[in-house]
A and B are shown apart, each in its own frame.
Chain A
Amino acid sequence: MGKERLDNAAPIVYGVKARKYELTERDFDESIEDPIDAQEVFDYIRDINDPEHPYSLEQLNVVQEDLIKVYNEKEDPWVDVQFTPTIPHCSMATLIGLAIKVKLSRSLPPKMKTVVRITPGSHNTEEAINRQLADKERVAAAMENPNLMSTVNQCLVPREE
């Protein structure tokens, strides 16, 4: 963070989704287990900070609830998260993908796998980036890299409003 020239000097800032949750009787019943849904996953990642701009991934439309699919299969629960870099040659795309992966690994149940990938057609090197994010050894190596993790953790710090 703190480059001389930003990749995208003037990103479009979008309005954010209202955070109103309709509570039903089921929500107050302690014995009912709530399956993870797209809304919950979105809540985990919507406030991740963009590494370059003082906005959240939701505000820059990098993540959207519609691009999250949760598969609650008993034997193989997993989540598919697509993210859309603001410009096709965004050099921060891998870092953003890594931040999403890290946030979800810290938030979701341990057995739930995640696929974090670029929204098809929205980046020049999406295949290469998707492959890196899908390689668990590379992700583990990245998470052991102190410089990289310091940048990722800054993206994950909640912003003061």
Chain B
Amino acid sequence: MLLLLYICFKKVHKLEGHENEVKSCAYSVSGRFLATASRDKSVWVWQVDEDEDFDVCSILQGHTADVKFVVWHPTDDILVSGGYDCSIHFYCFDGDDFVTIQKIEAAHDSTVWSAAFDHSGKYLVTVGADKFLKIWQQKWAESLQERSWAKLLELELDTRWPLYAVDWNHLTGHIAVSGGDGKVRIFNFDFDSESLTKSGSFTVEDEVNSLRWHPTIPQLLSVSCDDGFIHLLTHDC
């Protein structure tokens, strides 16, 4: 099923700052912050005020190579970034500035391309060019700055090509993964046993760069590909 979307937008702002391509952007769940990631190795966080003005809040330069993505925690203002330097960085707001809570070096054996939190924010899934899917678990603390993450499990997928995209369904707990081989794989994460089981797959015609579960329609997944098409899939399980 293919869908071409024609939507009318009006340009409101243009934010400058990054030196080259911006790979990723995301709003925090509070709506207060916008984070951007660039090939220039930096992560910028912009603060949005009530008048919809954006001001630079923090410029985070902890990465040593291209940052491929930024993703926000579902309930708290915690930001995660990852990229070509194979590491994942966690940040939070200390009242004035975003500070780094934790850096996980060599989180993958190659570029970390994408990440997603589960509905609770207790788990983070990452995928990389090393063909691995890894799940990290949060050690909770009242203070955001004292939180930490550790690897819970990892799974090498049977593919020849990098994994570019991952998303975690907040309604059903399913994880969707895909990449250079165009094969969208669905996994079920059991929250009690903290284990993963396969739940099906579907192959699209070209490399998958990004995919997202619909926030309210449980089985709906949108998948974007190199061929310029956006595929909408329903996962029957």
Report the tally of A-B residue pairs with Cβ distances under 8 A.
26
Which residues of A are found within 8 Å of B206, using beta-carbon distances?
Answer: 111
Which residues of A are found within 8 Å of B161, using beta-carbon distances?
Answer: 113
Check A138/B181 contact, CB under 8 A, given A78-B160, A113-B161, A131-B110. Answer: no
Q: Is A29 an interface residue (CB 8 A)?
A: no
* C-alpha gap A111/B225 in the complex (Å): 13
Q: Are A137 and B180 in contact (CB under 8 A)?
A: no
Q: How many residues of A contact B (CB 8 A)?
A: 12
Which residues of B are found within 8 Å of A111, using beta-carbon distances?
Answer: 206
Give chain A interface residues in 118-141, CB to chain B under 8 Å: 131, 134-138, 141
Give chain A interface residues in 99-152, CB to chain B under 8 Å: 111, 113, 131, 134-138, 141
B103 to chain A, nearest CB (A): 20
Give chain B interface residues in 85-117, CB to chain A under 8 Å: 110-111
Q: Is A76 an interface residue (CB 8 A)?
A: yes
Which residues of A are found within 8 Å of B39, using beta-carbon distances?
Answer: 137-138, 141
A61 to chain B, nearest CB (A): 28
Nearest A residue (CB) for B86: A131
Nearest A residue (CB) for B84: A135
Check A138/B180 contact, CB under 8 A, given A76-B160, A78-B160, A131-B110. Answer: no
Question: A residues bordering B, Cβ < 8 Å?
Answer: 75-76, 78, 111, 113, 131, 134-138, 141
